Chain A
Amino acid sequence: MKSVLALILMSTAAGAEPAPGVANEARAKMNWMLHCQGCHQPDATGSANGAPGMANDVARFLRVEGGREYLTRVPGVANAGLDNAQLAELLNWTLGTFDRQHVPNDFSPFTAEEMAAGRARPLVSDAAMMREALRNKFPASEEGSAGGD
């Protein structure tokens, strides 16, 4: 009986665990709805010829050189109508919510200063090119791990 209770407690705790670098999850989710999901869709699967899909994929950029900086410079991030602190929170929330499996164990959350530096050099038409260049660096062995639940 005790072990069952512990199991229930553990699973509840795991479900409620906030993503790293997210001070206010409700605010992050609201900012996702207001600033991202109109084009990226509620489940972050993206839209054809529009905003790229991010589900089970976006955190893989953290694992290649230049990928972390790229995420702070993409048009949707750099031009969002949010201050640097909320933008960092939103990006951290997005990574933890839609692609937790690819977030590296030693991941240090994005900070307001980092966002300020990235959005000072926003990507425009070169975003897609850079994305492909980074994608080509993704380790092939990771391909099979996408999906999850």
Chain B
Amino acid sequence: MKELDKLSEGVVRFLARSNSRRGVLATIGGVITGGAMFPALPVARASGPAAGSGYDGVTPQSTGNPMDPGDPASCDYWRYCGIDGFLCSCCGGSASVCPPGTEMSPITWIGTCRNPADDVNYIISYNDCCGKPACGRCLCNRNDGERPMTRPQLNNDINWCLGTSTAAYTCSTAVIIGVAVKEGNG
């Protein structure tokens, strides 16, 4: 116990010798003010990923399948080559599933996209999900192979939530429905 007393006394005396009282107050004041200012500094908050969609709260996703590479929450994902709309992957659904409470449109825009993993062209159906207000996240507008309104069969601005009980557009999926054969010119 005596040893502890001696140690405490030594430490306190050392502090008293090496610090002025005003100096201590200035240091404490600086720490408090600096600490309060720190969160307001314009530094990256790291809430969004460096790569990917760039939308707040949307983290990178993966299919977990090496033959289906890329981030389904990013416009660059291979299945989205002809997409126009909000990604359901960013809206509570996935690249092939509608968010809860929405209805998948049976009338769709259909095209092909090349999968970089196997260099095969897959037939992709861009089914809309309908019935909730527009999701507003991850707007993608790649439109590879799209044609103007004068070619309505190849224009993706016509069919928005047709064939569903409501015409309220929520987001878009990209469902693989087949494999394109080489002989075709579609």
Q: Which of B152, B154, B159, B181 has the most CB of A within 10 A?
A: B181
What residues of A have a CB within 8 angstroms of the CB of B162 in the complex? 47, 50
Closest to A41 in B: B106
Give CA–CA (A29, B186) in the complex, Å: 11
Task: Indicate if the CB atoms of A33 and B123 lie closer than 8 Å.
Answer: yes
Q: Does A31 contact B (CB under 8 A)?
A: yes
**In this complex, what residue of B is CB-closest to A24?**
B183
Find out whether the CB atom of A30 lies under 8 angstroms from the CB atom of B151. no
Chain A residue nearest in CB terms to B106: A41
Q: Tell me the minimal C-beta distance from B80 to chain A in angstroms.
A: 17
> How many residues in B have their beta carbons less than 8 Å from beta carbons of A?
24
Whether A39 is near chain B, meaning CB under 8 Å from some CB there, is: yes
Q: Nearest Cβ in chain B — how far from A35, in angstroms?
A: 6
Binds A, one of B15-23, B38-46, B84-92, B108-116: B108-116
Q: Mark B165-183, 1 if CB is under 8 A from A, else 0.
A: 0000000000001101101
A-B contact list, 10 entries, CB within 8 Å: A27-B181, A27-B184, A30-B123, A34-B123, A35-B153, A37-B110, A42-B177, A79-B153, A80-B153, A81-B151
Known contacts A34-B112, A81-B151; 7 additional CB pairs below 8 A are: A24-B181, A30-B181, A34-B123, A39-B159, A79-B151, A81-B154, A82-B185
